[in-house]
Structures are given as structure tokens and as C-alpha cells.
Structure 1
Amino acid sequence: MSTTGFSTYVWLFFACCFCCSKAMPTKLNQEATNDRPVIGILTQIVSDEVMKPFGRNYIPSSYVKFIESGGSRVMPIRLTLTSDEYETIFSKINGLLLIGGAVNLETSDFATVAKIFYRLALRANDKGDFFPIWGTCLGMQLLTVLVAGEDLLAKTTAENVALPLNLTTEAASSRMFEGFPNKLMRALTREPLTGNFHHFGLTVKTFQENEKLETFFSLLSTNVAENGVHFVSTIEGKRYPFYGVQWHPEVNRFQWDRKLNFPHSAHAVQLASLLAEFFVNEGRRSLHQFDNPEEEASVLIYNDTPVYAGNFTGYEQIYFF
């Protein structure tokens, strides 16, 4: 081969390599992330007479701060909209928080609207459109009703008591507790880090005997109620990014009533922080977005002002709508 021919061959070889390199993606299977997530929080109907002068719906500010502390914004979701409006909201937010309270889990507006979002989330996740849901106390109970198709709750009173968790073997491989420091995981089983304020719950026996629940959820922790009944205290979906806690992580950092057993130790605060970051990171995996920044800004909770409620409720502040 002549020198000229060899040079031409070398040039063609590198040109071909360059073209091939331009055609190949620089990163394969990179998971997209959304660093401006918006988590929707479903409001509760005001039923307490002392709260009625302030509005028809409410969200305790501790839930809002819990989500914001994880790095997300919050959109309050009223209970008076149409199904089409909820479907539109679903397409724009990046996750849903179902808060605690006291309503009928089958017939209330709270349950009806939650069911709409639950079904939308199932369908979306089945199609690869990631959408997480978190339920706290009543919210977790509602998730079990939605999955089981019936209310299976029993009396499991743990009212105004802070407890450690009885972690199951599944907790070690869970998404929720993944990456938790070993020291915190030990503390979680030995120290009263979880505030409980409930009269009803799902018994471990009922969970284990219900095929729908046991197939859908992993049981991560249990606790013992005042009447000696073992109840489910932490769950996460096996296939779907749905999470539930019978206890209240938001109180560890944002509620201070001296009459109530809100855990405020360093480990309790660390637990709440990591859980908030975990759920918001799940929200970052959702690529739903608003049509424009103006629309987004118009629905965020920054447009509302919380009311000081420490003198007539156990909450420091409440948003009313």
C-alpha cells in the first residue's frame, strides 16, 4: 500500500469512529429527574366547630413543612372539584400526600377524591409514568381500604404515645429505609421516635390473612396497641411507590404542644428529615409538570397564609381553604 493510500485509510478509519461516537448516547439508561417537584396534599373537611369560622377545608402546616423540608413545593387540593379537574391536577403534580384526620374511609369526600388519585396513580405507574403516594395515619388506613376494597380496621388505640418500631425482616431491604445510618436503625427499634395518635388501625393478623394486602404491600414494622393487639405501623408497595405510616413523622420537627407526646430527640428529628427527603426524591422521579411557570405559581400554597391555631388545637398553624 502506498503512503497516500495508507493515509487515506487511516483518515477514513478515524472519521468512521468519530461518526459512530456521535451517534451513540453518552449515557445509557440514565433515569430522568425533576428538581422542581410539586407534591399535592389532599385537604380535610373542617368538622370541629371551633375551626369552622376559618374555612371549609384545612391542612395542618406541619404536613406542608414536612414536604417542603424534603425539597418540594406543595399544592393544596380541595375536595370540591370535578373528576376532570382532578385528572388535570394529577398530570401536573409529582406525588400525593394523604394526611391524618377523622373521616369515613369509604363514603367521605376525602376518601372519594383519594380513590380518584389512587386509580390514576395505578394506571400511570403501570405505563411507566412514575407517581408516588404517601399516607400518614388516616392516610395509611385509607391506602389499605383502597387496596383491599373494604374497611378492615379494628380498635388499636395508641393515643398520644411515642413508640419505637418493631421492624420486620423486610425493613432491611425496603426502599423507605434504604441508606439509613445503622445507628439510626438501631435507635428506631429502641427509642420512642414515632408519635402515635390513633384509635383504629389494621391488625397484623388481618394484614397477613388478606391476600390483596399481603400481595400489594411489604410489612416493614408493627407495634402493640394499648389493648394488646399487634397493629401494622409501616408499609410500602411491592410494585408501586405507595408508602404508609400509622405514626406521624411530621410532628417530630414541627409540632410542640406540651400536652402531646411529640418526639423531639436528635434521632427523632433525623428520622423525620430522612423520610421527607426520601418521599420528595420519589417525587423527583415524576416528570409531570405545569404548562407554564405562571400556572404553577398560581396554585402553590405560598398563595395562602396559615392561621395560628395553638390556642384552640394541637397544631401550631393550620391552612384553611
Structure 2
Amino acid sequence: MVWLGVLLAPLVSCLYLNSYTDPLYFKDIKPTIGVLTIPNDIEYAYADYAESHLRATYVKHIESGAMRVIPLQYNSTFEEIDYLLARVNGVFFTGGSAKLFIREENKEPRFTQFMKMADFIVKRIIEKNDNGEYFPLFTTCLGWEVLTIVLTNKCTLETSKGMNYTTNIIFTDKVAKSKWFKDVDPRILYYMSAMNMTAQNHQWAILPRYFESEPILKKFFNVLGLSKNLEGEYYISLAESKKYPIFSTMFHPEKPPYRWAFADVNNSPLSIQVNQFFAHFIAQEVRKNSNKFGSYEEYLKYCLYQVAMHHLGPDEIQAYFFEKVIKDD
């Protein structure tokens, strides 16, 4: 009997392995979400072998909702990105640092390539929704700032002392009827408003006074929440589009479970549970879109797992670096 077990073990292992490597097992690769990569012009400039990156905290946050990441490399062609937008179920703009404008003496500022790609993606997402396709967009920190600049075609940002601290959310009266929070467990709203659970990390922000003076933003968004920066000044911390499935946070829901080396992030079990709501909401929204890749092989060609993750230093940051643009054969 022992010898029979020894003989059968390799066969069982092979059968088990084949069931997970057989493309038929992956007959329905969804949901997937396209994530715009960040240029290496400010962050990780020392990584001169790569042109862009994604921080792993965002990837882990997305994966915690049973979604898979498809990198949207900012230096791809519009045609290549359009191809992927027809296959993913939504898009995410992450936080980070990037040059947004090219400024030259005696010339009007113009968009960098990163901003040109963000502009293209936002306009395509709006077009898709106008044509009847439910296609969500989620933005965090830099992504929220980029979105407001794309919509207004001008700089919307003011300096705000908001680096490395955790605070609460002051919800507006728009929350009760919002797409984002209308069905949320009331305890989530209570914890976010009564306790410091949202990780903030920014030097710029969209302030309420600017928002109120900008008709394009007022027409497009409902402000759902404000926060105070380290100088006691209010800034917009939560917003959603009135018409489209577009959702934005200034804070970082991805940090509490995955950034533990600094005291500025609330890593308590309750904070992790509250911030996990945002990953679950993203998963809920992207499942409303029916796009998918044509085959497992096609999915493998574009998925994030074609790129190795790198550990970057003492603050436990991990990132994926992209050496070149993925091109369709």
C-alpha cells in the first residue's frame, strides 16, 4: 500500500498541476482592471533601466477584491491602450509623483506624455459610458489631481501640508444618496468620521474654495467628504461624478494593510477592515462591466505577472518596473 501511494503521488501531482495550468481552467478571466503606470521621472529616478512603475500596495489592494491588474503603460500608443480598454472592466489611477506639465519660457504649459495618456483614457471612459457601456474609473491622490486637471484643462492644485499623517473624514450631506455610500454599513461612515483612519500623503490638494469657483468641477462632481491638513485647512478628500461611475479619494485606502513601518498609518484591525471597504466597492463596480480577454493566452500576454516585483528599501515599499511598452504582435 505504501509503494502504491509512492507510485500514485507523482500522477496525482501532475493531474493537480495540469488542472491549474490548462487554459480551459481559466475560461473566464475577469474582473480585470487597467492601472496607469507612473513615469520614473521623479520617483525611482535611479531605476534608469525602466521607464515606469506601479507600487505594489495598489496591486495588493486591488487583488484583495479578487481582481487582476493589467498595466496601462503611460508611454504606449493610444491605439494600444484603446485595445486594452476594450478588454478590462475598469481603470485605476494611482497615487505617486509625476511631472504633469512641460513649462518653457514664453510658452503656455503643456501636458507631459503621462498627462496626455491620462487625458486620452478619461475621455475614452466618458465616451464609453455615454455610449451605454458601464465603465468605472477610480482615482487616488495623484490620480484625483490628474482627473481634475484633465477635466478643466488647467492646473487645479494648491499647496496643502498633508504629508504622512492619518485623519478622519468630514462627510457632506451628499453621502446619503451617493452611489458610493448609499448602501454602506453605517458603522463604516461612523468609524471614518469619528476616528483617524484615512492615510494622507500629499503636498497638493483641491481646496473647497477652488472647487466652488470652478464650474466644470461643480457640474461634474459631488463632494462627499472633506479633511483637514496639518495646518487645519480643509481640502476635498472624497468625490464622485454626478453622472458617471467615477470615484476619487485623496487619501490612501491601500496603505493600512500593507504599510506598517511608519507611525503615520493606522494599521489597527478596525482600520484595515474599514479601508478594505474601498477594494470591495471597486470589485463590485468592475463586475458590472462585461469586457473580457479573448483567451487565457491573451490575458497572460498583458497581465502584471509578466513583470517581477522588486523590494526598494527600508520602508517596505515594493514596486513593479516596466522596461518597455508591451506591443501587440
Both proteins in one fold, TM over 0.5: yes
1:157: Cα distance to partner? 1.3
Helix, strand or coil: the match of 1:285? coil
Distance in 2 (CA, whole Å) between partners of 1:173 and 1:203 is: 23
Which of 179-188 and 43-52 deviates more? 43-52
**1:285 Cα deviation after fit:** 1.0
Matched, 1:285 2:305: no
- Cα separation, partners in 2 of 1:315 and 1:208, compared to 1, 3 Å: farther
Q: Please name the residue that 2:104 is paired with.
A: none
Equivalent in 33, 43, 52 of residue 39 of structure 1:
33
Structure 1: gaps spanning 5 or more residues: 1-33
In the TM superposition, what are the counterparts of 1:10-25 in structure 2 within 5 Å? Answer: none
2:97 counterpart SS class: coil
Which segments of structure 1 move beyond 6 Å, counting only runs of 4 or more? Answer: none
Q: Deviations over 1:35-61 (max 9, x none)?
A: 821101111111345641552211110
Query: Which amino acid is the alignment partner of residue 301 of structure 2?
Result: S
Which range moved further: 223-232 or 148-157?
A: 223-232
Q: Secondary structure at the match of 1:124?
A: helix
What is residue 73 of structure 1 aligned with on the other side?
A: 68
Higher gyration radius (CA): 1
Task: Supply the distance in 2 between the matched residues of 1:123 and 1:180 (Cα, whole angstroms).
Answer: 29
- The count of residues paired between Structure 1 and Structure 2 equals 285
Tell me the TM-score normalised to structure 1 length. 0.84
1:161-188 deviations in Å (ceiling 9; x for gaps): 1000011111122222233222221111
Distance in structure 2 (CA, Å) of the matches to 1:110 and 1:49: 16
Residue 270 of structure 2: aligned partner: 267
Structure 1 residue matching 2:174: 3-state secondary structure: helix
Give the match for residue 299 of structure 1.
302
Deviation at 1:316, TM superposition (A): 2.8
Return closer, same or farther for 1:307/1:35 CA change in 2, 3 Å cut-off: closer
For residue 281 of structure 1, give the secondary structure of its aligned residue in structure 2: helix
Q: Secondary structure at the match of 2:144?
A: helix
| Contact in 2 for aligned 1:105/1:151 (Cα 8 Å) | no
In the TM superposition, residue 261 of structure 1 has moved relative to its aligned partner by 1.0
Q: Are the aligned partners of 1:35 and 1:284 in contact in 2 as well (CA < 8 Å)?
A: no
Question: 2:54: which partner in 1?
Answer: 59
Q: TM-score, normalised by structure 2?
A: 0.82
Q: Residue 180 of structure 1 is aligned with which of 176, 179, 184?
A: 184
Q: How does 1:54-133 map to 2 (within 5 A)?
A: 55-106=50-101, 107-133=111-137
Kept in 2: contact 1:60–1:317 (CA 8 A):
yes
Q: Is the 8 A contact 2:137 2:246 kept in 1?
A: yes
Q: Look up the match of 2:327.
A: none
Q: Does 1:231 align with 2:206?
A: no
> Which residue number in structure 1 is paired with residue 167 of structure 2?
163
The answer to whether the Cα contact below 8 Å between 1:105 and 1:145 also exists between their aligned partners in 2 is: no
Partner of 1:159: helix, strand, or coil?
Answer: strand
| Alpha-carbon distance in 1 for matches of 2:160, 2:73 | 30
